[in-house]
Amino acid sequence: GIDSGGFNNSTQGSAGRVLESEVPLPEAFRSRLPIPPVLEPVHRDGTTDYFEVTQKVGQAAILEGLKTEVWGYNGILPGPTIVSRSGRRTVVTHRNELPVPVSVHLHGGKTAPEHDGYPTDLILSASGAGGHSGHGGTGVVGSKEYVYEMDQPAATLWYHDHRMDFTGPQVYRGLAGFHLIHDDTEDSLSLPSGERDIPLMILDRAFAADGSFLYPSVDPTLTSTPGVTDGYMSGVLGDCILVNGAAWPVLEVSDAKYRLRILNASNARRYRLRLDGGPRFVQIGSDQGLLSAPVEHDAIDIAQAERFDVIVDFSGHDVGDQITMVNENGSGGTAQVMRFVVARREADTSVVPDRLADLENLSEDDVSVEREFVFARGGAQAHGTTLWTVNGQPFSPDTIVAHPELGATEKWTIRAQNVEHPFHIHLAPFQVIGRDGNDDPGRYNQGWKDTVNLDTGGRAELLIRFDGYRGRYVFHCHNLEHEDMMMMANFEVV
């Protein structure tokens, strides 16, 4: 069937075809919501927390009677949650025991360029399998230490694979996890915490007859061609919704406030989330951390890679009530996400304060340079198909399209053509000041962002702060199939 995967009803059908699973899918609302394990540091010293992650093949029990092979951080999907403290350095040593090269990107991290997971900055397989790095990439063999200074506020970040040409298939096979940062401001707010602070990684998958994740691609270990056939070039959509790795799971809650850190980790699917018969979402945070004040939503439009940090208050409900999180963009199975069941009463002392964090508001007066980038299909051909490009240029590690100065604030206008494109930039957080001809960011783009959704024909004006490091970084479309089909470009902070 055709699924819009889009927010704007006038763009029905513009995302890819929905893959149909070759096995019966699990019944909805039968399995419990898994909570990804929090990774313990292997060592701490006065300034730094040290972690170790092994990327390896694992087996997940998602389907009845069949195992699903996962390429995961520590062999699991989601990977373990890494927790950092703002201002304390975090070092993560990644060992690659997968049969392919990998590159790890901390999405939303203010990271030095050599630790940012540049698409050709690879960790080659420890086993030597699938060893070619391709595209003149450089690689260390076996393992790499990624150093994160964590000079940034409390936020819900995530880490995922970023290998050039293969980010789509490698994330699809499981390479994604949460990385949370806490700070004193957040601690002072009495927000719901502990068991009532829950990360939700939402993604869609389809399954092959043997239970593995079905991706319409040739074996990436055997060729440098991504091989995404034309029908899926607009993005790979699955027919099964997973939350924290389980199909349409259930979470038992008390009649209290919960903090949900919602991440859309899907390759190409966008969601419009609503709590059917339940409370509204009170948004307290965006991609890059807390908002200045809460924003209430009946529904949330969430594009790939975006995060919505929300409070939901179940206190108006009785024990036994069921509240389903639905996806108003979906149909059939993809119209449902997960369910909350109110299972007990609980005294709740958490609050949602009227003021959250003090945010600096960037202003057009600070802008030194203006640039415009058009995200569209066209301008280049490869493998017998027309590529996705930025200003008509396909990604090349050697071409740098912008040289912002360290400390500068620039105004970038981003336009999306042909279909929707979620724009994401590494290193440099931004504020949305205009969208689709309006001089405001819109309901869903408050605070500091690192990803912004653009509808077909859409346009966004961003004020971007280039801070922290000099060096070469990428910006790209976070539809991972578009990214793999070259919709990416370099900037270099000078």
Task: By CB under 5 A, name the binding residues for Cu ion.
Answer: 421, 477, 479, 482
Nearer to ligand C2O, 424 or 435 (CB): 424
The partner in contact with residue 105, picked from ligand C2O, Cu ion, none with C-beta cut-offs of 5 to 8 angstroms by kind, is ligand C2O
**How many chain residues bind ligand C2O (CB under 6 A)?**
10
Nearer to Cu ion, 258 or 373 (CB): 373
Q: Other C-beta atoms within 10 Å of 179: how many?
A: 26
- Interface with ligand C2O (CB under 6 A), residue from 94, 110, 144, 162: 162
The partner in contact with residue 424, picked from ligand C2O, Cu ion, none with C-beta cut-offs of 5 to 8 angstroms by kind, is ligand C2O
**Is the separation of the CB atoms in 192 and 259 below 8 Å?**
yes
Give the DSSP letter of residue 80. E
Site for ligand C2O in 39-68 (CB under 6 A): none
The residues pairing with 487 across neighbouring beta strands, listed in sequence order, are none
Decide: residue 1, CB within 10 A, 0-12 exposed, 13-18 middle, 19+ buried: exposed
Minimum CB distance to Cu ion, residue 421 (Å)? 3
Cα-Cα-Cα-Cα torsion 146, 147, 148, 151, nearest 10 degrees, comes to: -160
- Which among 219, 230, 208, 248 has a CA at the least distance from the CA of 20? 208
Minimum CB distance to ligand C2O, residue 159 (Å)? 9
Element at 146 (helix H, strand E): strand 143-148
Give the DSSP letter of residue 126. T
Minimum CB distance to ligand C2O, residue 74 (Å)? 20
Region binding ligand C2O by CB under 6 A among candidate stretches 24-32, 85-93, 206-214, 474-482: 474-482
- Which among 208, 109, 205 has a CA at the least distance from the CA of 160? 109
Nearer to ligand C2O, 235 or 279 (CB): 235
Minimum CB distance to ligand C2O, residue 205 (Å)? 18
Site for ligand C2O in 286-345 (CB under 6 A): 305
- Interface with ligand C2O (CB under 6 A), residue from 94, 160, 163, 435: 160
**Is the separation of the CB atoms in 254 and 344 below 8 Å?**
yes
- Interface with ligand C2O (CB under 6 A), residue from 426, 435, 465, 482: 426
Nearer to ligand C2O, 333 or 422 (CB): 422
**Is the separation of the CB atoms in 182 and 194 below 8 Å?**
no
Nearer to Cu ion, 409 or 479 (CB): 479
In the bound state, the residue with its beta carbon closest to ligand C2O is 107
Distance CA 481, CA 422 (A): 12
Minimum CB distance to ligand C2O, residue 179 (Å)? 11
The residues pairing with 304 across neighbouring beta strands, listed in sequence order, are none
Nearer to ligand C2O, 265 or 312 (CB): 265
Question: DSSP string covering 174-224, please?
Answer: T-EEEEEEE-HHHHTT----GGGEEEEEEEEE-B-TTSSB--SS--TTT-S
Minimum CB distance to Cu ion, residue 388 (Å)? 6
Region binding ligand C2O by CB under 6 A among candidate stretches 10-18, 63-71, 322-330, 472-480: 472-480
Q: Cis omega before residue 24 (within 30°)?
A: no
Nearer to ligand C2O, 474 or 486 (CB): 474
Distance CA 268, CA 249 (A): 21
Structure tokens at 190: 């009495």
Position 269 contacts ligand C2O (CB under 6 A): no
Site for ligand C2O in 74-103 (CB under 6 A): none
Nearer to ligand C2O, 206 or 427 (CB): 427
Nearer to ligand C2O, 144 or 478 (CB): 478
Site for ligand C2O in 100-129 (CB under 6 A): 105, 107
Cα-Cα-Cα-Cα torsion 377, 378, 379, 381, nearest 10 degrees, comes to: 100
Binding residues (CB under 6 A) for ligand C2O: these are: 105, 107, 160, 162, 305, 424, 426, 474, 476, 478
